[in-house]
Amino acid sequence: MPHTYSGVCPEQSAECGALSVNAPAYGVFETPGPIPIHLHTMKTPISAARWILITLPVIWLSLFVLFSAQKPTLPYDFLVNWPLPFVGALAALVGNSVPVGGGIIYLPVLVLLGSHVRIGVAFSVLTMSIGNGIFGFLSWLNKDPSFFVWESFLFTLPSAWLGLSIVTFFPLFTEKQCLFLFSVFALFVSIFVFLLARNESNQNLFPTPLIYSDQPQQFEKRFTPNKIKAYLIVALFSFFSGFILVGHVGIGNAMTTFLTLSVFGRVDIRSAMATGIVTGGWTSVLPSLLHIIWMKDAPIEQVFFVLPGVFIGANIGPRIHGLFGLRNVLYGFSVLLTVISATMLRTAVLSN
């Protein structure tokens, strides 16, 4: 009988003093037999994540005091921009509960307030690199480290970075076309999330066989030729996600990772979701650096103002499924995405 490492601890093994886990399949975590999980190996990353999360607000307050000494008007500017933390809380809540990225909120809000799409993208990727890449990652790590498909990062991140680097300097679309692209992507995700919510099992979304294994229940952790082939397909999708979506509208690789891991890896929904969310945040690191260092158009002060809300939303996001139920969260997000898609479509049509 195969067992799976899920990070859940339902029973104590008397034989070795470790925990033997039986849980739903998480794709790449499947093994032919029980895995002994020693208590100290589980608690160490969780404890570290917990302590880091505690110190982050202190760091922000310290930086706020330091920057205020250099720029006396900073507290007034923060009060003038008081809506930003609330926008950040909503965006981080959405971005860390569903694999789409907080940019699905940031870009429409900034465009409706009169910002150019390029500035909205810079704001989105810089904020998501912190909100999803740091706050969200630590929150999911604090919840359960085994949710992550760690090896997938080796394939999704470099390929997405390559694709987005090209179009950051040589964009394919005009600003109006980017608005249409964002609207179409939001509508696609809305339909997909609705279908996902109707999935009865909430385990493997796609009942097709593993592309890299003829016997999914006997999956091994080593890199077999078929498994490598599957990950190369995942990397290819990530490249086009960076090339078409992230480089132009600031989002896309979180959902792409979620979909490809579900389709080609038969990864459990929650595991694919957590991995996709963090992948989206870490994907945003490179374009953030490009906008700060090379293009010099990143609204750093506004990003600093939005971080308190991002911190709160990122900590609530991983727990929102348990509070309201995964299905209810997905239905609500589907409705929100439909509204966003329609709004951005209207903006694109009315733009010059």
| pLDDT score, position 174 | 94
Sign of the dihedral defined by the CA atoms of residues 334, 336, 341, 342, in that order:
positive
149 touches 267 (CB < 8 A):
yes
**Angstrom distance (rounded) from CA 75 to CA 108:** 26
What are the boundaries of each domain within the chain? 51-350
Sign of the dihedral defined by the CA atoms of residues 281, 282, 286, 288, in that order:
positive
Question: Tokens standing for 264?
Answer: 């080609």
Count Cβ atoms within 10 A of the Cβ of residue 306 and give its class: 0-12 exposed, 13-18 middle, 19 or more buried: buried
Cα 321 off chain centre by = 15
Tens-digit pLDDT profile for residues 75-132: 999 998 889 999 999 998 888 778 888 899 999 999 998 889 999 999 999 999 998 8
More confident residue, 156 or 29: 156
Q: Closest Cα to residue 267, out of 205, 337, 338, 324?
A: 205
| pLDDT score, position 28 | 40
CA atoms in the 13 A half-sphere facing the CB of 222 = 4
- Which residue's entry shows tokens 């399949």? 25
Mean pLDDT value across residues 12-24: 36
User: What stretches of the chain show up as alpha helix (H) in DSSP?
Assistant: 39-70, 74-80, 83-95, 103-112, 117-130, 137-143, 153-169, 175-197, 225-240, 247-249, 253-265, 269-283, 285-289, 300-316, 320-324, 326-350
Tens-digit pLDDT profile for residues 308-324: 999 998 888 777 777 78
pLDDT higher than 50, residue 346: yes
More confident residue, 23 or 338: 338
Question: Tokens standing for 19?
Answer: 């925990």
Q: Which residue type is seen at 278?
A: V
- Band (pLDDT 50/70/90 cuts) for residue 221 is low
Tens-digit pLDDT profile for residues 20-45: 333 333 344 343 333 333 333 445 66
Contacts of 317 by beta carbon, 8 Å cutoff, 6+ apart? 92, 93, 94, 95, 96, 97, 136, 139, 277
Tens-digit pLDDT profile for residues 272-319: 888 999 999 999 999 999 999 998 888 999 999 999 999 998 888 777
Contacts of 169 by beta carbon, 8 Å cutoff, 6+ apart? none
Q: Which three-class secondary structure state does DSSP give residue 83? A: helix
Tens-digit pLDDT profile for residues 60-77: 889 899 888 888 898 999
- Band (pLDDT 50/70/90 cuts) for residue 8 is very low
| pLDDT score, position 45 | 65
Helix (H) or strand (E) holding 31, with range, is: strand 30-31
Q: What is the DSSP string of 251-308?
A: --HHHHHHHHHHHHH---HHHHHHHHHHHHHHHTHHHHHIIIIII----HHHHHHHHH
CA atoms in the 13 A half-sphere facing the CB of 305 = 19
Q: Which three-class secondary structure state does DSSP give residue 144? A: coil
Total residues found in the chain within this entry: 352
State how beta strands 3-4 and 30-31 pair.
antiparallel
Q: What percent of the chain has pLDDT over 70?
A: 80
* Model pTM score: 0.78
Residue 15 DSSP code: T
| pLDDT score, position 44 | 62
117 touches 107 (CB < 8 A):
yes
